Amino acid sequence: MQKTLKIATRKSELALWQAVHVQQLLRRHFPHIRVELLPLVTQGDVILDRPLAAIGGKGLFLKELERALLDGAADLAVHSMKDVPVEVTPELPVEVVLQRANPFDAWLSSSGQRLAQLPPGSPVGTSSLRRQCQLQAARPDLRVLDLRGNVNTRIRKLDEGEYAAIILACAGLERLGLQHRVTETLAAPGWLPAVTQGTIGVQCRAADTGLRQMLALLNHPETALCAAAERAVSRRLHGSCQVPLAVFARTQGGRLAISALVGSPDGRRLVRSDRQGPASESAALAALVAEDLLQQGAGEIIAALG
């Protein structure tokens, strides 16, 4: 096995935190191997004046990193799993996921007001159609504005008064030591997160069997099971950032529970499915949830967005 491993990562503070975390885990397991970071700028980091749904989706955060893997400039890449499309490049599997952090959304308000307390007409920032549909369903009287940029940029815009509140991922805030900014946690069952939110994935070349065996030591089986189930629902519904889809899976005592919803961006129509069963039947359970949503009209909601 080679003496040096290079990790491709985005340059944002949060992405670097995730890459350093994987770097530290590898050093702990394999102290004889040198592990370096290869920070890269992706299209998703550069194009900040338009919503992700309008410029090709979250896959824009992966292309440059995957190119580095294919070119041999890097040996592995670290991603937020919610940025990884459900259909991955066969030559570059994402087989390893770390233990999931806080999967829920965070409500940040400059006034300290919770979601239910914000005055009608207040501007709320989010670039996610999933968050938008749930927000509009709960508070149709609020004004939703697009919000792009890294975590610190989004918080600065809140502090400068562009928004009365913004919605971010709890995991990212906690990883950056910003959990004190959270006014309210938007948690299940009332509010569902994005597919695999809070989960870090590790990608490498399929041909690198030795490296794949090494990385397998970092895999968290329970998180992997939940991630696979959530991504299976998303795959059946052709999920992407262009689809207001939320899926949340969790295990307990050998059983798996999956909750999912699809909604119109204006929040006027939401369909939801909640199923549970043996964890050993996760694929079948995910299929049931997806079909349940489709039977309730999820396909029509998604088609209307096209």
| Catalytic positions, written as ranges | 83
Q: Report the amino acid identity of residue 205.
A: R
Looking at 73-189, list the stretches that DSSP marks H as alpha helix, in order from N- to C-terminal side: 129-138, 151-159, 170-175
Q: CA–CA separation, 289 vs 151, rounded Å?
A: 32
> Do strands 200-204 and 96-97 pair parallel, antiparallel, or not at all (unpaired)?
antiparallel
Q: Report the amino acid identity of residue 110.
A: S
CA 190 to chain centre: 18
